[in-house]
Every structure is written in structure tokens, then in C-alpha cells.
Chain A
């Protein structure tokens, strides 16, 4: 399944100011919820999350003007719902819920509009997309099973972190910077794992893996 583009990921844990900024954010949210210095605290949250929220909605597939509109809606939601905010977790967790709800609401509205699109018959779709039936040849099935088993054995011999990087790339289709964020490791480590892993698999699987893995990095 193709995945939407994600933000250019930062290297995990590489920014010492990040934790400090997050603490300031939590403090501002807590004070805002208690009604302390409302305007200054809300403005601080607004400045800290204005661009991130736009990125968030853009990566969810919204057009720039919708992303801007949803960013405003999220801030309205934060301001009006702040009375119910309790400092039990991180502010971003709550912000994520408010933003996700705004996105879902907008999607539902857009879905209502989409339902009025012209109807296409099932036959027309079948004609346009010919889906090949799965092979029922017992020999093919046997060969596939054997290939699967060989691959699983080879994969099982890879070191865990290397195997996980390759899984995120091959199964989830993540880019190297996204893998770095997901694994909380440096992006150069990801590149090294991918290079070594590819080499090891080609050594172990030979021809079987050469077709897709022998040609170099696909970031």
C-alpha cells in the first residue's frame, strides 16, 4: 500500500533543546488550563504549533488552504476546550486528539460531497482493471512456500536492529529518515544497516534476492 509522504524526520534524540521546549509547552498548557496569563500562554502555544499543525494536516493529505483552516479550527478547539484539559500527560497527546478529530470531521464533510459523484457500474470497473487470479498450480505454491521458508531462515539470521530497519523499509515502505525516527537511531546507522543487510541477504539467498536487493539503495 503506498504511503503518504511524511515530514522530513529529525534524528531522534539529537536535539537537546527539544526536551526543554516540550517542557515549556507542557507548562504553558497547564497554566492556560488554570487561567494563568491566558493570552501570553495561548500565544506561545500558537507560535510553537502553528507550522507543525500545518505540516500535520498536509501530511494527512489536505490541500494547503484546508490545512490552514484546520490549523485555525484546532486552535479554536484548544482554546475553548482548555477548561477540560488536565495535566495528566503531554500536551501534544491532547493536541493530537483535537487535530485528529478536526481532520476526521473535515473528511466526513468531504465524504458527503464525494458521494454525489457520478456512479460507475461494477462491470465498467472490471473492464478497466483486470485482476489476475491467484495461481492454483500446486507446483507454484510449493515453490513459493519453499522460497518463503528460505527467506525466513535468512532473515532470522540477521541482527535484530538490522532486520527491523529492513522490515520498516520493505514491509512498511518507510524512507531512511522515517526509519531513523521510528527506531530512534541515527539516519547514518539506518543506511549502514540497509547496506549490510542487503549484502548479507544477497550472500545468503543468492539469485533469489538479487533481482530486488542487489541494485543499491532505494530511499
Chain B
């Protein structure tokens, strides 16, 4: 079989590339130069040389477009809450909190006790301190295991209590499963003051949408805010809502499916921010 000749389009692209390379400088552009180019702050000659290089260099044009993606956005107005941003900011603050003071060094760790080479002839003799340490380990090991068992038992009881709360719709679950097959939209779920946040997990019965968003409305149906950029993660959409960032008193959260056609309301849940109630 006769091999295929390059198509006209390939030849044409190659010809354009050669033409572009012929009039461009070879060295790549620095991010700062690209940022100045973006804002039109270069002198005309430099701007032209930057443009010529961009036309001939995929790497630099890709970098320019990435920098374009990093163009700052004006912060949201105070009366429009971007809940995802607020939640993420709280998480970030948690990560940036200064680490707790490290415990002060034990007074027994004096320099004189630093590991030193024992004198010849005594290297393999059991030292009294080693015997004491070994005995302590032997005594403490079972005690540690018992403590662990007690702690694990406590955690298990805690988890059981959380699970039993999940079954009751009016209780206060830290994780709220929203599944239209299991619960009625008429039920109202309370977010109690002691809970800093609530995790909403919507089970998806219809997975044909690419993106999802959560819209908040007052109890009377007046739109309040929205949380976009939610995705289908293995058949469910999860979102963490911080109580302080939520609308006050009773409100409605609607999960909206965003596809190529018009948005569709998939699930509705009524929530009550108990801390904000009079």
C-alpha cells in the first residue's frame, strides 16, 4: 500500500510555522515580560518582537494563556456570599494557624547523656539504665494496649451515636444524606449552634448532567445565593456548608443540574439555621 502523503493542511501549517519562525527571536519569554505584554505596557518595538515570538512558540503562547487564566477577579460584593469560597477560606485559615508550642525538652536530656562511644570492653555489658528501660517497655506495652482499646471503644460508641442520629430526620446530623427515595422534601433539618458546619450529600438518581449547583432561597422562595462548580462524584454530590455562612433561620437548598439544556431542579431540602433563630 502506498503511504499517505501529508495533507494540504499539514503542509500549510508547516509553511505558516516556518514563516513565523523566520521573523521571531529564538529565546523564550519570561512571565514578567508576558504580564507586561498582557497589559500593553511594552514599547511598540518590544511588543512586536514578543508577539512575533508568541506566534512561533507554542510553549510561550500556552504560558500567556495560563497567565490570562490567573487574571485577578474583583472580590465578591459583601451582600453576595460565595459559600464555596467562604468554606475554603475557613479551611485555609485552619491550615495556616500557627502550630502549637512544641513541648519543652525534658530536663533529663542533658548533653552529658548524649550517645557516646562506651569504653572498650564494656560495649556488650547490659547497663542498668537499659534494663530499666526494657522493663518499662514490657510493663507499659500492655497498659498502652488497654488504653487504646478503651479509646477505640469510646470512638465506636461515638460513631454509633452519630449513626443513630442520622436515622432521625429532625436530629442534627453533621452529615446529612439527601436521597429523594428515602426522605420527604417537606421535612426540615436543623443545623444546631454547636455544629460549625453540615455536610450535605445528595444522592443522584439522574446522572446525565455535567455540572451541578446549589441554590439557596428563603423559606418564601426568594433567591439568596448560589454555590456553583459542584460535580458528580461516583453518583453523589457533596458539599460542606459552614453554619455562619448560611442564610439565617429557615431556608431552602435546591440542587440544580446544569446541562446543555436549561437547568433542572433535581432535589430540594429545607434547612433551619437554629443558631440564627430568634
Residues of A bordering B, CB below 8 Å: 1, 3, 6-7, 9-10, 12-13, 17-19, 21-22, 25, 43-44, 46-56, 59-60, 64-65, 68, 71-72, 75-76, 79, 89-90, 92-93, 95-97, 99, 132-135, 137, 140, 143-144, 147-148, 151-152, 155-156, 163-164, 166-168, 170-172, 174, 178, 181-184, 201, 208-209, 211-213
Q: Is the CB of B9 within 8 A of A170?
A: yes
Q: Is the CB of A163 within 8 A of B89?
A: no
Q: List which B1-39 residues lie within 8 A (CB) of chain A.
A: 2-9, 11-20, 30-32, 35-39
User: In the complex, what residues of A have CB within 8 A of residue B127's CB?
Assistant: none
Q: Roughly how many angstroms separate A95 CA and B68 CA in the complex, as a whole number?
A: 12
Q: Roughly how many angstroms separate A42 CA and B207 CA in the complex, as a whole number?
A: 38
Q: Roughly how many angstroms separate A76 CA and B89 CA in the complex, as a whole number?
A: 11
Q: Check B96 for interface membership: any CB of A closer than 8 A.
A: yes
Q: Is the CB of B13 within 8 A of A170?
A: yes
8 intermolecular pairs with C-beta atoms under 8 Å apart: A10-B68, A13-B40, A22-B39, A25-B72, A76-B92, A148-B11, A155-B19, A167-B55
Q: Roughly how many angstroms separate A19 CA and B17 CA in the complex, as a whole number?
A: 33
Q: Is the CB of B70 within 8 A of A168?
A: no
Q: Roughly how many angstroms separate A212 CA and B85 CA in the complex, as a whole number?
A: 46
B65 to A, closest residue via Cβ: A6
Q: Roughly how many angstroms separate A71 CA and B84 CA in the complex, as a whole number?
A: 13
Query: Distance in Å from the Cβ of A208 to the closest Cβ of chain B?
Result: 6
B: interface residue count bin = 35 or more
Query: Distance in Å from the Cβ of A24 to the closest Cβ of chain B?
Result: 8
Query: Distance in Å from the Cβ of B126 to the closest Cβ of chain A?
Result: 44
Q: Roughly how many angstroms separate A7 CA and B141 CA in the complex, as a whole number?
A: 58
Query: Distance in Å from the Cβ of B166 to the closest Cβ of chain A?
Result: 24
Q: Is the CB of A183 within 8 A of B88?
A: no
Q: Is the CB of A76 within 8 A of B96?
A: yes
Evaluate whether A148 and B14 lie within 8 angstroms (CB atoms) in the complex, with A72-B95, A89-B32 already known.
yes
Q: Is the interface of A mostly helix, strand, loop or mixed?
A: helix
Q: Is the CB of A181 within 8 A of B39?
A: no
Q: Is the CB of B66 within 8 A of A68?
A: no
A39 to B, closest residue via Cβ: B93
User: In the complex, what residues of B have CB within 8 A of residue A201's CB?
Assistant: 12
Q: Is the CB of B31 within 8 A of A148?
A: no
Q: Is the CB of B85 within 8 A of A47?
A: yes
User: In the complex, what residues of A have CB within 8 A of residue B61's CB?
Assistant: 168, 172, 174, 182
Q: B73-81, B110-118, B188-196: which lies at the A interface?
A: B73-81
Partner of A171, one of B2, B16, B40: B16
Q: Is the CB of B3 within 8 A of A168?
A: no
User: In the complex, what residues of A have CB within 8 A of residue B71's CB?
Assistant: 10, 18, 52, 92
Q: Check B69 for interface membership: any CB of A closer than 8 A.
A: yes
Q: Roughly how many angstroms separate A168 CA and B3 CA in the complex, as a whole number?
A: 29
Q: Digit string of B158-194 for contact with A (CB within 8 Å is 1, else 0)? A: 0000000000000000000000000000000000000
Query: Distance in Å from the Cβ of B98 to the closest Cβ of chain A?
Result: 11
User: In the complex, what residues of B have CB within 8 A of residue A51's CB?
Assistant: 73, 85
User: In the complex, what residues of A have CB within 8 A of residue B54's CB?
Assistant: 182-183
Partner of B70, one of A49, A68, A172: A49
Q: Is the CB of A43 within 8 A of B89?
A: yes
Partner of B64, one of A21, A79, A148, A181: A181
